[in-house]
Amino acid sequence: MQVLLSASGIFKNFGRAEVLRGLQIEVKRGETIGLMGPNGAGKTTLFNVISGFILPDRGKVHFLGRDITSDPPYKRARSGIYRTFQRVRIAEQMTIMDNLLLAFQDRAYERPMSALCRIRDWLALEHTWRRRAFELLKEMNLESEKGRLARDLSYGQQKLLSLALGIASDAKLMLLDEPLAGLSSSMVDRAINLIKIMVRKRSSIIIIEHNTSFLEQMCDYVLFMAQGQILYQGNLQELREHPGVLRSYLGGQMELA
C-alpha cells in the first residue's frame, strides 16, 4: 500500500516541557488508526504538527511523498489533510447548509471578480453543491435543520457537523480528535456512521479516542503514545498486555477492561 503520510524525528517543546520526543509515524492509504495514550502524551500536539497549526522544532513531515514540514495549514488542507478540533470548530453564526457549502464549494469561484462576473456559473454549480450537502445532512439526520444557525445545534450535532465538513472537503487524511467524547449513545451511532463513510471513501483516518470497543470495531490497528513517543503499535489485544502501556496508562496497578 502507498504511504500517505510519514513523519519522522518530530521534536516539539513548549517551554521546558518536551511534548514530542523524536516521534515516528507512517500512515498508509486507506488505513484507520486509533491513537491512544494518557493525557499529556502529545496526541493533540501530533495532530497540530501534521495539520500545520504548530511547527515542530525538529523533524520532517511528508505527505504523498512531498515535504510539507513548512507548509501553512491551509496548504496542507488543500493537499488533503482535514482535522477536527477537540473544542468543536464550526462557523457558529452561519447556517448548517452554509457550513457544508463552504467545504463543498470550488475554490476557483471564490475570487471576488468571479463572484460578480460569473454569477451564472457559480449559481449553477451551487445547485450541485447543495444537493451533495443535502445528502450528507440526510446521513446525519439533520436535513430538516439545514437553515438553522450552527450555534443553535446541540453539542453532539455540532460535532457531527465538524465530521461532515471533513467528508465534504474530500480529504485523503482525516485527523479526528476525540470524535465521540461527550456524545449521547444515539449521537455516537451517527458519528460512527459518518466515520464509516470516510472509510468507504478510502480516506486514511487517525482517531484519538479512549473508547476501546469503538477502536476495536473501527481500526486496523492502534498506536499508543506516551511521553511524546509511539510506545506501541499493533492490535488492542496485545496492547492490553503490553507492560509499558499498563504502566503509563494505569500506573501499573490495574488491568485494562
Q: Footprint of another protein on this chain (CB under 8 A)?
A: 51, 53, 72-75, 77-78, 82-83, 85, 89-94, 98, 101-103, 105-107, 109-112, 114-116, 119, 122, 165, 169
Backbone phi, then psi, for 224, in 5-degree steps? -115, 120
Please name the residues in contact with 111: beta carbons below 8 A apart, sequence gap of 6 or more: none
CB of 90 to another protein, least distance (A): 7
Stated as kind and residue range, the H or E segment containing 233 is strand 229-234
CB of 116 to another protein, least distance (A): 6
Nearer to another protein, 101 or 199 (CB): 101
> What CA–CA distance (Å, rounded) separates 75 from 68?
9
CB of 75 to another protein, least distance (A): 8
CB of 91 to another protein, least distance (A): 4
Nearest to 89 by CA among 53, 56, 55: 53
Nearer to another protein, 111 or 201 (CB): 111
CB of 100 to another protein, least distance (A): 10
Task: Give the bridge partners for 206, in sequence order.
Answer: 33, 175
Largest Cα–Cα distance in the chain? 68
Query: Quick check: 73 and 47 in contact, CB under 8 A?
Result: no
Length of the chain: 257
Nearer to another protein, 66 or 89 (CB): 89
> What CA–CA distance (Å, rounded) separates 65 from 189?
35
Nearer to another protein, 38 or 73 (CB): 73
Nearer to another protein, 53 or 221 (CB): 53
Give the strand pairing for 204-208 and 173-177: parallel
